[in-house]
């Protein structure tokens, strides 16, 4: 139905188009909390832990860096990251990881432990048909 000046239909159409565009760009991306820990003892990998969980509350911040991984239509983030683990580890190293190193020498025997840790960080993840876009939040 039109109003007297004829703008009712046009304004509703413009608002619906704007809402549709915003919902397709922002609402498809999901928030995930990811933490990573890598432990090396005496030059041998001892433990590697990757924890991924969907955020119950929305994360706030601006997208910082972007990583695009092949997903083959899957929306399981842990499987996507395990298939592309080298690219993901290189990506999170650029975000800044905490490095802890301990070395002890007893009776001419050297023991060393190195721990790399990415503290729990919020990521925006957008799944498409063939790719997953992962961006860290600043």
- At 102-129, the pLDDT tens digits run 999 999 899 999 999 999 889 999 888 8
Q: How many domains does the chain have?
A: 1
Structural domain including 72 reads 30-137
Residue 130 counted as domain residue: yes
Q: How confident is the model at residue 15 (pLDDT cuts 50, 70, 90)?
A: very low
Residue 59 counted as domain residue: yes
Q: What's the mean pLDDT when you consider all of the chain? A: 81
Residue 17 counted as domain residue: no
* Calpha distance 48→26 (Å, rounded): 33
Best CA proximity match to 94, nearest among 26, 36, 32? 36
Residue 25 counted as domain residue: no
Torsional sign, CA 43, 102, 52, 136: negative
Residue 33 token pair = 């909390």
Residue 109 counted as domain residue: yes
More confident site: 54 or 10: 54
Residue 8 counted as domain residue: no
* CA distance to 77, 78, 89, 122, per residue, from 96 (Å): 21, 21, 11, 14
The per-residue pLDDT for 63 is 83
Residue 20 counted as domain residue: no
CA contacts within 13 A on the Cβ side of 68: 4
What would the mean pLDDT of 51-64 be, rounded to a whole number? 86
Q: How confident is the model at residue 36 (pLDDT cuts 50, 70, 90)?
A: very high
The number of beta carbons lying within 10 Å of the beta carbon of residue 123 is 26
What would the mean pLDDT of 51-80 be, rounded to a whole number? 86
Q: pTM higher than 0.85 for the full model?
A: no
Residue 58 counted as domain residue: yes
């Amino acid at each position: 139905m039109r109003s007297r000046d004829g703008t009712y239909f046009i304004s509703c159409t413009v608002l619906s188009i704007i809402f549709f565009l915003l919902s397709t760009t922002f609402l498809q991306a999901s928030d995930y909390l990811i933490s990573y820990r890598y432990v090396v003892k005496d030059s041998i990998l001892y433990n590697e832990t990757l924890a991924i969980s969907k955020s119950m509350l929305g994360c706030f911040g601006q997208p910082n860096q972007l990583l695009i991984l092949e997903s083959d239509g899957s929306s399981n983030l842990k499987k996507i990251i395990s298939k592309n683990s080298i690219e993901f580890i290189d990506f999170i190293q650029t975000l800044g990881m905490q490095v802890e190193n301990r070395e002890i020498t007893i009776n001419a025997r050297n023991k060393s432990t190195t721990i790399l840790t990415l503290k729990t960080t919020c990521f925006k993840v957008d799944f498409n048909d063939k790719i997953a876009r992962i961006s860290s939040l600043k």
